[in-house]
């Protein structure tokens, strides 16, 4: 079977670079150990290899269909979803009291990465159910939890997040799905339309539980009047229709195996929704989960790009073509294309993007695991500020660069990469969704510069500086990492200078301040990657000094860190030059000049 | 019908920015005028709108199939190909003696752009036939011309370029298809395999004429032993099989309407090939045409990106979402997304890439038209050196940036852009071929830095400098263009300094010299675009001063030039910094460190 990820790399990330075992010192995770963590990874590896990867191509070629109002998906998905349930996969991070395993999210997502790398479409189903169940258990009443979550955990029911409407995509304040109170407390009549609902309907489960945003009659306009509801496709008790009808299915460029539905809700006035938590706090609840979903999307992007990287690496080692650049003797056999500098550049590019992004996402999930159990409010506030700042970066950099990375994989395969004989073209199509869903890159740029850099008197940005400076100090004391530390230090200074100029600009109003928010997000992505590669280089050096095995692996890490600083981090210079400019073509350009 | 290109823009490029009417002063083109040129464009526009665009989606969804050894394509293509023949489209650039129209290639390709923007797959068929016929008429005997070209011109027969073999893709020196002399002079028995042959077999024509590279028995190894043959699918006289069998069809990510074949040649020892020109000069002949094909691919890339740009521009003007950044009143209606700075940035990006690339390609085709009829050998040598230098740039920059440009179009449409309800996802898939075929970007990087910059004592590079300096001088004298001129001047100096450092490095051997050839290609692409945008800004300014109409159009040109300098040209700084470095991760990285 083709290699779609490297377990050695994943182990390095978790146990050497991140030191995830620190989490076991938190009482909630105390029963865990390196052994239990590795068992979870093994279990994910098994199902990924035996069930998911073999269906990768087939799920792409045989798309879900809508027949007589019901979406039909690949027939093998039913057993796979049930197995996720039976393995305890869906509620693994939840407490023992909820029949969970109290697994750190870090390990859950690292194991999820294996599933995603094997078959992104198939991995979407349990991921969404976990997110939806998590909203109910966190903000819902005990009655709602008991009514809905057990069959979600078992994989009998699907969970979804139902936000988008025809007239409200990025602009959530314009949501118009309505909720009319009924005589029954907490029960509302829901009416509206939702579009782009992932796994919004399919025949591998008995019911679909939508976590849906809607507006209670009389609620304030904008985001302050949005409430969260549990809206089942069928009534939980009777199994009768709850008037959530599948109006359409979207056909899309990639991850075709996961169905995306257009739903009509309450068009026959028969849709009951159950209020979660307080009225008008729906968006706040949803965002708490969406931050996790955003890191999840970052990991999806890493997973697809990793599978593409591994496919192109295998090809580059096997495919003979041409000779070394200083070889003139044509009677010599051709060399594998990995011998060519430009092919190595494209491999180093992919390695640097995928492994650097993985390090960043796992850094964030560990922070999240720590925050969930931190008792000291001051420490917690600082950690939260840092995580809030990093979330748009950890969602967007892997998503945007994941496209470039899978594109490099296609390029390495050349004409072969463009055909359906190899999986890289599928990865290229699948990767394209990530800069769009869970907030477009443009939205995250505004979130980063317009909110996360500013709030709490810039606490998040200060924390970022503090943590990067810690890494720089440690690296300066590590033989072989001094030069890398100085490079990151200089780019940190450049990033700070740029941020300060932008803050000055904020006095000229939001239009000028935020005109290039997307570019600032890109700059911060590069800075965060530089930081992560500095950490990885130090981890590799420390390990090399202690153990004699796997020297090639660690030498590869060191050289990839070097690559990143030389080829990628240097892009900060051009970005910073643009960001400091006071010439604004995107504001000056009039709509009718296009 | 959706707008897939702008005729106003194309007219600006040809008649205002390029001044293509200068070509009518060349005797060969003397019968032509603005009127005849515009008639050709009108004619292309008609067939594009009426025949090609309506099939765009359908040809993507209903792929060609291989049935009983024969490839079947969309049934409407037969009439379309014949119409191309009847309209004189296939041999339009050839002489009156050849029943051609003596049309400048510049106009032929500009009209071709309209077809490509409407439906890239459909545009491939006549484009290939023209290229193949051109090889026969330029290098073949009168007998070959008479035997094969008339039915190619009429669209009854398809032409192809048959280079690639299973073990020889980018490495043409390893071609192994063999040619055995027969008793008949100029006739050889051909045996071998060819892969990825575009339009290599299909049922819309009566015969397929392959221009095929093969090695005559006893020929030298490497590229010096390759000859060019006309290899028909069926014998031209009898219509019997010529033992060219279709072994397979490739399914691919995009431009699915054009079939790509795997051919077995002479497996029953019955394949006759007709030698074109002299033995062992095949690659030289082929390259003469491939340079044209490369500019053609650059134009294909512009065409697809242009169609995507227009689709996203239409969407951005129509789709309401969110409010202006300083608008707090949620009772106000939503604004079209073009009002958002980040959407305008993505539109300006696409406009700058597509229109700048178009200007560069047309500059090259005009140069080519002039070269073909230049009598002064000294001038001709200089023009050829410049065109040779620009060709890898004009192929690669539009191809590579075309991907980014179509990706920006998808991003503007958001979730809708990822679905098959809009054409941008198809454009995104189609655009991906261009950095691969007609020489990968990596190959063009080596060609540019390793050959084109060096040969004839650097004449091409000197000519580039001379021409850019001319543009700078003119722009400095044009009100409103002075600042842009100074910017391009400073980046030209940066590019020259970088090139000089690389030339110094060449003393350390080809591995170091060429390690970052692809990045140098990217840098030269940016420089060439900066130059083209300077020219366009000047043309726009001059026009604005003379005519009062279309002020918005010209203001848009000026602002896009400004955008390009601010956001894109600035990337030269980071690239130059990397190129000047003497730290070589792509050389240091060992294959088993990955």
Residues A266, A179 within the same domain: yes
CB spacing of A425 vs B173 below 8 angstroms: no
Phi and psi torsions of A171, nearest 5°: -95, 80
Q: Are A245 and A128 within one domain?
A: no
Beta bridge partners of A228: A213
Strands A227-232 and A207-216: antiparallel
In terms of Cβ atoms closer than 10 Å to its own Cβ (0-12, 13-18, 19+), residue A53 is buried
Task: Give this prediction's pTM.
Answer: 0.97
The label of the residue with tokens 């032993």 reads B225
Dist. CA B318–CA B338, nearest whole Å: 8
List B residues 318-357 in contact with A (Cβ-Cβ < 8 A).
320-323, 325-326, 330-331, 334, 336, 338-345, 347-348, 351
Tell me how far apart the alpha carbons of residues A384 and A390 are, in angstroms, rounded to a whole number.
10
Return the closest-CA partner of residue A172 out of A226, A229, A228, A231: A226
Q: CA A445, CA A514: separation in Å to the nearest integer?
A: 8
Whole-angstrom distance, CA of residue A411 vs CA of residue A394:
26
CATH number at residue B300: 1.20.140.10
Contacts of B168 (CB under 8 A, 6+ apart): A321, B174, B175, B176
A495 within some domain? yes
What is the full DSSP assignment across B451-510?
A: IITTHHHHHHHHHHHHHHHHHHHHHHTSTT-HHHHHHHHHHHHHHHHHHHHHHHHGGG-H
Please report whether residue A63 resides in a domain. yes
Output the pLDDT for position A110.
98
Does B252 contact A322 at a Cβ distance shorter than 8 Å? no
* Residue in chain A lying closest to B256 (CA): A419
CA B448 distance to own-chain centroid: 16
Instruction: Say if residue B272 is in the same domain as residue B412.
Output: no
Provide the 8-state DSSP code for B20: G
Residues A469-507: pLDDT tens digits? Answer: 999 999 999 999 999 999 999 999 999 999 999 999 999
Burial class from Cβ neighbours inside 10 Å (0-12, 13-18, 19+) for residue B173 reads middle
Task: Report how many domains make up chain A.
Answer: 3
Give yes or no: residues B265 and B398 share one domain.
no
CA–CA dist B501, B505 (Å, integer)? 6
Average pLDDT over residues A184-192: 97
Give the confidence band of A114 by pLDDT, cuts at 50, 70, 90: very high
Of A252, A280, A308, which residue is a domain's last?
Answer: A280
What is the rounded average pLDDT for all residues in chain B?
97
Shared domain for A179 and A64, answered yes or no, is no
What pLDDT, on the 0 to 100 scale, is given for residue B167? Answer: 86
- pLDDT (0 to 100) of residue B289: 81
Under DSSP, the state recorded for A333 is P
Tell me which residue in A325, A440, A445 faces B411 most closely, judged by beta carbons: A440
DSSP-derived letter for residue B95 is -
Task: Count Cβ neighbours within 10 Å for each residue of A479-515 and write b for 16 or more, e otherwise.
Answer: eebeebbebbbebbebbeebbeebeebeeeeeebbbb
Distance, CA of A540 to CA of A558 (rounded, Å)? 7
Both B56 and B126 in one domain: the answer is yes
Q: Over range A366-382, report the average pLDDT.
A: 97
Which candidate, A337, A351, A255, A358, places its Cα nearest to that of A309? A351
Token code pair at residue B341: 């700075």
CB atoms < 10 A from the CB of B98, how many?
A: 16
- ipTM given for this complex: 0.97
| Residue B489 at interface with chain A, using a CB cutoff of 8 Å | no
pLDDT at A328: 80
B563 contacts B408 by C-beta, under 8 angstroms: no
Q: Are residues A456 and A588 both part of a single domain?
A: yes
3-state secondary structure of A228: strand
Residue B588 lies in a domain: no
Confirm or reject contact between A516 and chain B (CB < 8 A). yes
The whole domain housing B258 covers: 159-279
Please tell me the predicted confidence (pLDDT) of residue A42: 98
Q: How far apart are CA B308 and CA A432, in angstroms?
A: 15
Domain boundary among the residues A280, A306, A330 is at A280
The answer to whether the Cβ–Cβ distance between B317 and A419 falls below 8 Å is no
Catalytic residue selected from B438, B489, B522, B568: B438
List all residues 6 or more positions away from A281 whose beta carbon is below 8 Å from its beta carbon. A227, A228
A419 within a domain of the structure (yes/no): no
Let me know if residue B585 belongs to a domain: no
Task: Please say whether the beta carbons of B565 and A527 come within 8 A.
Answer: no
Are B171 and A334 a contacting pair, CB within 8 Å?
A: yes
Question: pLDDT per residue over A117-171, tens digit each?
Answer: 999 999 999 999 999 999 999 999 999 999 999 999 999 999 999 999 998 877 8
Residues B144 and B167 in one domain: no
A484 touches chain B (CB under 8 A): no
- Which residues sit opposite B190 in a β-bridge? B179
pLDDT, tens digit, 9 for 90 and up, residues B102-148: 999 999 999 999 999 999 999 999 999 999 999 999 999 999 999 99
Which CATH number fits the domain that encloses residue B19?
Answer: 1.10.540.10
- What are the CA-CA distances from residue A270 to residues A165, B225, B343 (Å)? 20, 79, 40
Q: How far apart, in whole angstroms, are the C-alpha atoms of residue B20 and residue B32?
A: 11
Alpha-carbon dihedral B120, B233, B67, A423, rounded to 10 degrees: -50
The whole-angstrom separation of Cα A125 and Cα A366 is 24
Residues B474, B344 share a domain: yes
The 10 Å Cβ neighbour count of residue B577 is 16
Q: Please, what is the end-to-end C-alpha distance for chain B in angstroms?
A: 50
Cα distance between residue A251 and residue A262, in whole Å = 11
- Give the residues of chain B that fall short of pLDDT 70: none
Q: What percent of chain A has pLDDT over 70?
A: 100
> Is B73 found in the same domain as B95?
yes
User: Is the CB of B197 inside 8 Å of chain A's CB atoms?
Assistant: no
Q: What DSSP assignment string belongs to B193-224?
A: EEEEEET-S-TTSSEEEEEEEEEETTPPSGGG
> To the nearest 10°, the Cα dihedral for A509, A513, A515, A521?
-150
Assess contact for B213 and B221: CB atoms under 8 A.
no
What is the nearest CA distance from B95 to chain A, expressed in angstroms?
35
Q: Are residues B186 and B264 in the same domain?
A: yes
Q: Is residue B329 part of a domain?
A: no
Task: Please check whether residue B505 touches A, CB under 8 A.
Answer: no
Q: Which two tokens stand for residue A113?
A: 């990465």
DSSP secondary structure code for residue A12 in this structure: I
Taken as a whole, chain B contains a residue count of 594
Nearest chain B CA: its distance from A431 CA (Å): 11
**B-chain residues near A420 (CB < 8 A):** 250-253
Which of A348, A418, A514 is closest, CB to CB, to B589? Answer: A348
Among A153, A179, A195, where does a domain finish? A153
- Same domain? For B145 and B189 the reply is no
Q: Is A523 inside a domain boundary?
A: yes
More confident residue, A1 or A303: A303
Please report whether residue B328 resides in a domain: no
Tell me what pLDDT residue A425 has. Answer: 98
Give the tokens for residue A170: 């990025």
Judged on CB neighbours under 10 Å (0-12, 13-18, 19+), A383 is: middle
């Amino acid at each position: 079977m083709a290699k779609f990820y490297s377990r050695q790399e994943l182990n390095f990330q978790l146990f050497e670079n991140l030191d995830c075992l620190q989490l076991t010192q938190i009482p909630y995770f105390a029963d865990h150990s390196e052994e239990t963590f590795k068992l979870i990874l093994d279990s994910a590896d098994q199902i990924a290899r035996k069930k998911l990867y073999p269906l990768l191509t087939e799920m792409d070629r045989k798309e879900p269909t809508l027949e007589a109002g019901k979406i039909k998906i690949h027939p093998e998905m039913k057993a796979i979803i049930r197995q996720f349930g039976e393995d305890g996969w869906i509620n693994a991070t939840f407490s023992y009291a909820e029949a969970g395993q109290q697994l750190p999210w870090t390990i859950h997502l690292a194991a999820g990465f294996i599933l995603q790398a094997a078959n992104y479409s198939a991995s979407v189903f349990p991921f969404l159910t976990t997110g939806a169940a998590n909203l109910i258990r966190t903000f819902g009443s005990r009655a709602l939890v008991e009514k809905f979550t057990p069959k979600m955990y078992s994989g009998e029911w699907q969970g979804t997040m139902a936000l988008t409407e025809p007239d409200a995509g990025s602009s959530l304040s314009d949501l118009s799905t309505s909720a009319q109170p009924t005589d029954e407390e907490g029960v509302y009549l829901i009416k509206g339309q939702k579009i782009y609902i992932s796994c919004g309907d399919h025949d591998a489960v008995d019911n679909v539980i939508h976590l849906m945003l809607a507006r209670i009659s009389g609620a304030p306009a904008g985001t302050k009047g949005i409430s969260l509801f549990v809206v089942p496709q069928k009534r939980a008790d009777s199994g009768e229709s709850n008037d959530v009808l599948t109006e359409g299915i979207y056909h899309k460029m990639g991850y075709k195996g996961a169905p995306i539905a257009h739903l009509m809700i309450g068009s026959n006035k028969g849709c009951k929704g159950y209020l979660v938590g307080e009225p008008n706090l729906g968006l706040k609840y949803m965002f708490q989960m969406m931050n996790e979903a955003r890191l999840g999307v970052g990991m999806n992007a890493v997973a697809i790009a990793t599978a593409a990287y591994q496919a192109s690496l295998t090809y580059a080692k096997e495919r003979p073509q041409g000779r070394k650049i200083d070889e003139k003797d044509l009677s010599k056999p051709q060399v594998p294309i990995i011998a060519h500098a430009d092919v190595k550049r494209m491999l180093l590019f992919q390695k640097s993007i995928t492994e650097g992004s993985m390090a960043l996402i796992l850094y964030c999930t560990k922070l999240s695991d720590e925050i969930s159990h931190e008792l000291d409010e001051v420490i917690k506030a600082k950690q939260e500020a840092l995580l809030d700042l990093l979330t748009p970066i950890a969602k967007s950099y892997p998503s945007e660069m994941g496209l470039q990375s899978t594109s490099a994989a296609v390029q390495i395969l050349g004409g072969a990469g463009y055909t359906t004989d190899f999986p890289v073209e599928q990865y290229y199509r699948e990767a394209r969704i990530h800069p769009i869903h869970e907030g477009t890159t443009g939205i995250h740029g505004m979130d980063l510069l317009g909110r996360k850099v500013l709030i709490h008197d810039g606490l998040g940005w200060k924390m970022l500086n503090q943590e990067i400076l810690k890494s720089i100090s440690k690296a300066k004391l590590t033989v072989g990492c001094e030069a890398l530390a100085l490079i990151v230090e200089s780019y940190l200074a450049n990033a700070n200078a740029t941020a300060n100029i932008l803050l000055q600009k904020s006095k000229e109003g939001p239009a000028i301040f935020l005109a290039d928010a997307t570019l600032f997000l890109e700059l911060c992505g590069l800075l965060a990657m530089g930081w992560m590669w500095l950490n990885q280089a130090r981890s590799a050096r420390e390990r090399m000094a202690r153990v004699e095995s796997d020297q090639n692996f660690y030498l590869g890490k060191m050289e990839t860190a070097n690559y990143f600083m030389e080829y990628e981090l240097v892009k900060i210079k051009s970005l910073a030059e643009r960001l400091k400019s006071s010439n604004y073509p995107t504001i000056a350009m009039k709509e009718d000049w296009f």
